[in-house]
Amino acid sequence: MATLPDFTFYYSPGACSQAVRLALHELSIPFKSVNTRRDANHKIEAADGSLTAEEYRDQVHHKNYVPGFVITFPDGHKESITETPAILSYLASIRPEKGLAGKTELEKAKVLSWIVYFAGELHGIGWGAFIAPKRFVDVSDKRLEEGVKEGGLRNIKAAYEHLEKQLQKSGGEWIVGDSVTLADVYSYVLYWWGVKHDLGMEKYERYTEIVKKLDARESAKKTLQEEELPAHFQ
Ligand SMILES: N[C@@H](CCC(=O)N[C@@H](CS)C(=O)NCC(=O)O)C(=O)O
C-alpha cells in the first residue's frame, strides 16, 4: 500500500466534524486531530495554541468552521479541504476497496446525493438556521431571528422524515446498498443533534436502527472516546 500523506483534522466534539472522524476510523486511516475553541472574537482557533483564528482561517478553513482537514505531503507541501461531503469523499477515495463511497456507479451517485442533501438541507438550512440564525439574518431583530429558527426546525423535521420514508421504502440494511457508506457515517452525528434537542428521534424507526448498528461498531466507540463524549445507546 502506498504511503499516505499526513492528515491533520480540526474538530469540535459532537459537531459535524464528527462525521470525518468516524469515516477515518471506518477506513483505518491514521490521522492527528486538533481540538478547536473560540477566541475572544468567537472565532475558531486551535485549542492547542498551534493556530490563531486568523491562521486557522488562512491555512485551514476560510469560514472559520470545523471540520478542517489539512494534508501534508512528503515534500512538506500542504493542502486543505473544506466542506464535509468533500472531505468524506476524499477519504473514501483513499481506500476504495472499502466501498464507503458506494460500490457501483449507481450507489456512488446515491451516496453523494445523500451526503450533499445532509450538508445542504439538514445541516445547512436546517440545523444551521436553527442553531446559528446569525448566518441568515441580523439577530438583533428578535422577530427575524425567531422566524429563521422556526424555518430551520421545519427543514430539520422535513429532512429526517424524508430520510425515514426512503429507508422504509428501500427496506435496506443501510442507507445505500448492503454495507456502511458515507451516507450512514454522516447521518450518525446528525441523529444525535436531534436527540440533544428532544426531537423524539425514536419515531424515525429505520434511521434509529441504522444509528444503533453504527453505535455498536468499533469506529463509533473510538470516535466518542476520542471526543470525550458519553456512549449513546449503552
Ligand atoms: N458547510 C460546512 C458547514 C460546517 C459547519 O457549519 N460547522 C459548524 C460546526 S457543525 C461550525 O464550525 N460552526 C462554528 C460557527 O458557526 O462559528 C460543512 O459541511 O463542512
- pLDDT, tens digit, 9 for 90 and up, residues 149-207: 999 999 999 999 999 999 999 999 999 999 999 999 999 999 999 999 999 999 999 99
The reply to whether CATH 3.40.50.720 applies to domain 6-97 is: no
Instruction: Compute the mean pLDDT over every residue in the chain, rounded to the nearest whole number.
Output: 97
Residue 201 has a pLDDT of 97
pLDDT score, position 233: 79
Side-chain-side CA neighbours of 25 within 13 Å: the count stands at 20
pLDDT of residue 234: 62
Does position 1 have pLDDT exceeding 80, yes or no?
Answer: no
pLDDT at 2: 74
- Three cell numbers at 203? 419515531
Contact 160, 204 (CB under 8 A): yes
At residue 35, the 3 state secondary structure works out as strand
Protein residue closest via CA to atom 6 of ligand 1: 65
The cell 422556526 sits on which residue?
150
Instruction: Output the ligand 1 site: residues, CB below 6 A.
Output: 15-16, 65-67, 83-84, 119, 132
Q: For the chain, give every residue range classified as CATH 1.20.1050.10.
A: 100-217
Q: What is the distance in A from the centroid of ligand 1 to the CA of 17?
A: 8
Which residues are within 8 A (CB) of 46 and not within 5 positions of it... i.e. 6 or more apart?
A: 10, 34, 35, 36, 52, 56
| CA–centroid distance, residue 75 to ligand 1 (Å) | 30
Residue nearest atom 1 in ligand 1 by C-alpha distance: 83
Nearest atom within ligand 1 for CA of residue 132: 16
**Percent of the chain with pLDDT strictly greater than 70:** 99
Tell me the C-alpha to C-alpha distance, in Å, between residue 7 and each of 34, 71, 74, 94, 158.
11, 5, 11, 12, 35
- Fold category of 100-217 in CATH: Glutathione S-transferase Yfyf (Class Pi); Chain A, domain 2 (1.20.1050)
Give the model's pLDDT for residue 232: 86
- Give 1 Cα–ligand 1 centroid separation in angstroms: 33
Query: What does DSSP say about strands 44-46 and 6-11: parallel, antiparallel, or unpaired?
Result: unpaired
C-alpha of residue 220 to centroid of ligand 1, in Å: 21
Q: What pLDDT is stored for residue 231 in this prediction?
A: 86
User: Where does residue 30 rank: exposed (0-12), middle (13-18), buried (19+ CB within 10 A)?
Assistant: exposed
Q: What is the CA radius of gyration of the chain?
A: 18
Q: Which of 1-15, 32-46, 71-85, 188-202 has the lowest mean pLDDT?
A: 1-15
| % residues pLDDT > 90 (the chain) | 97
Residue nearest to atom 5 of ligand 1 (CA): 65
Residue 116 CA to ligand 1 centre (angstroms): 14
Task: Give the residue range(s) of CATH 3.40.30.10 domains in the chain.
Answer: 6-97
Q: State how far the alpha carbon of 122 is from the alpha carbons of 4, 33, 102, 162, in Å.
A: 32, 25, 21, 10
**What residue owns the CA closest to ligand 1's atom 2?**
83
User: With 70 as the cut, is the pLDDT of residue 77 above it?
Assistant: yes
> Side chain identity at 77, as an amino acid letter?
H
Write b or e for each residue in 191-224: b if 16 or more Cβ atoms lie within 10 A of its Cβ, otherwise e. Answer: bbbbeeeebebeebebbbebbeebbebebbeebb
